[in-house]
Structure 1
């Protein structure tokens, strides 16, 4: 159902793009709109991952600089039968993570230092399994295409608005200029809004699917459920300046990095956290797993990365890597 819903929403987004092109220039405008979308998608196909990683100052790590994190990703990719992605760490105190790349063979996963400092190794494994699920499901490509088409719709809507305002339509010459002006303004406002709503709906759909697949990859839905609970609380308390400067990338992260409440409604890029955690706990219950309160309390008493023998670095204290 999630794939079918994603396909329907993508078709709606593409249809909106073509319709706006038709309003601007008839059949020729439709063709121009499709060509524009194709060119933008081709650029995003090759460059989107590099742009996003650079935007957040991500530094690539290996077995020497972040042995614990890389070992977790290696173990998960082997279990899922996937190629090993590039692994990055972002020097950001907000606990969060994302995946990017055009295919499983050209993918990258990134985690913030805040996530590695605050979560237990099991919770980190659940988070990275979620990100690898996005890669396996090719959500990184889907969301890149979605963002590109939404951007093209915004550009075309502005073009249509300006052409309406400055006499670009034949009806203006026949006394219908007021209607053209109003239509242009309405198009400039409503078309990007509609595109954003569809983009957000696709993002929410893919998050639910990645939670389910990530739980299967790591083997324990409760690891991811516990991680999501802690990430949600910390993400609202700790700002992410880079994400605030680039809100269009918010949908990439496992939890919304922007200030505000994450609600499962039309204007959210992520589903309700309560709904996500409930779904994961239901998966665990079906598999006969129970919520281990004692283990959860243990992981909450001291951040794993600050304990002796931290899996992210040397023995004792936070190990300095390429992020600081």
Structure 2
């Protein structure tokens, strides 16, 4: 039990640090309110908002696939990767995720769980071409560990906790967009074509024709539907006027609190990466294989990606490696104070631990398995 707690503490401690930063802001606000003679307990409200905002962001955000222009890998396309995935899912008891190919350069893999539909593991063509079966098993085990640990959900909640001052008004805007679309659909079914407010509906013309072909509302319900649409559109306009100043205030608060919040969230992301390495090594029973494949894959990651794939940085949190080559290796010429400071800042704002640290942790695990 102690060993299990010891291995899980780095991740738990990082998450508690995220909660601690938000709680510290509330305590500082309590102290300020007490000092000016106002009720101190009002300062606890932001902490509650951070919890509500984190959950609201998850519920209301559009959880789109991490990248477009992907293709399902059928068994006939690559039976080898399917056989490796089948074996890992049988060992873990996890539901089998969908395998998709995406267009990043270099060997890489990403785990993603959409709002609707099965979990998905994205892999690159270079990954399938350059890795043998044992190496491919180590990489896929790492991504299955992310799915098993629900890392996407945990990281999303942590980001919401650290950015609640922006997430609440943003979630309100997302909610207005969704209500706006529903009212537009209702107006079409009632026989009136009112354009959606804010131009919020994508592919309006295509949706308009599809809805018009659907069964319209009965004649007796159409007047009531139009009244609902009119009232709803008026409430949306009023809400938009109220949300705008809240959003501006949220931006100001975010600027003042963003630095420590981002640092602790990224620390959590790096800890989840180390935990996924450990889980993959324990599942496959080959920590040294994962260590060697991390080293070889890092050398093959390009310095930059094609312009059409600039959004790949958003996928780094659950990819086995960053999509662009990490900073150059430190040499003896980089012993100056400023160079060390820059390297420290880069690590603080990176989504992945240094590969050397990951390799050392895996080799330490391998040595303990041999001696244990």
Normalization by structure 1: what TM-score? 0.68
SS of residue matched to 1:254: coil
Give the deviation of 1:213 after TM superposition: 0.6
Question: 1:268 maps to which residue?
Answer: 350
Question: 2:54 maps to which residue?
Answer: 37
Q: Deviations over 1:259-289 (max 9, x none)?
A: 5428773111110100101111222233349
1:70-149 to structure 2, matched below 5 A, reads 70-101=82-113, 106-149=118-161
User: Which residues of structure 2 form unaligned runs of 5+?
Assistant: 1-8, 33-41, 170-243, 329-342
Equivalent-residue separation in structure 1 for 2:88 and 2:98 (angstroms) = 13
User: Which residues of structure 1 form unaligned runs of 5+?
Assistant: 165-183, 290-324
Residue of structure 1 aligned with 2:274, choices 199, 208, 214: 208
Equivalent-residue separation in structure 1 for 2:106 and 2:272 (angstroms) = 22
Equivalent-residue separation in structure 1 for 2:162 and 2:318 (angstroms) = 15
Distance 1:66-1:13 versus aligned 2 partners, 3 A rule: farther
Question: 2:196 maps to which residue?
Answer: none
SS of residue matched to 2:348: coil
1:15-34 to structure 2, matched below 5 A, reads 15=23, 34=51
Question: 2:364 maps to which residue?
Answer: 282
Distance 1:153-1:127 versus aligned 2 partners, 3 A rule: farther
Equivalent-residue separation in structure 2 for 1:192 and 1:14 (angstroms) = 11
Equivalent-residue separation in structure 2 for 1:159 and 1:16 (angstroms) = 25
Q: Deviations over 1:195-247 (max 9, x none)?
A: 21122101111111110110111221122111100121112446364663353
Equivalent-residue separation in structure 1 for 2:53 and 2:279 (angstroms) = 34
Q: Deviations over 1:6-47 (max 9, x none)?
A: 430342355378689999x96766665544333211135xx5
Question: 2:19 maps to which residue?
Answer: 11
> Cα RMSD between the aligned structures?
3.6
Structure index of larger Rg: 2
SS of residue matched to 1:191: helix
Equivalent-residue separation in structure 2 for 1:195 and 1:130 (angstroms) = 27
Question: 1:245 maps to which residue?
Answer: 311
SS of residue matched to 2:301: helix
Q: How many equivalent residue pairs?
A: 263
Equivalent-residue separation in structure 2 for 1:190 and 1:29 (angstroms) = 15
SS of residue matched to 1:89: strand
Contact 1:16/1:153 (8 A) holds in 2: no
Distance 1:19-1:100 versus aligned 2 partners, 3 A rule: farther
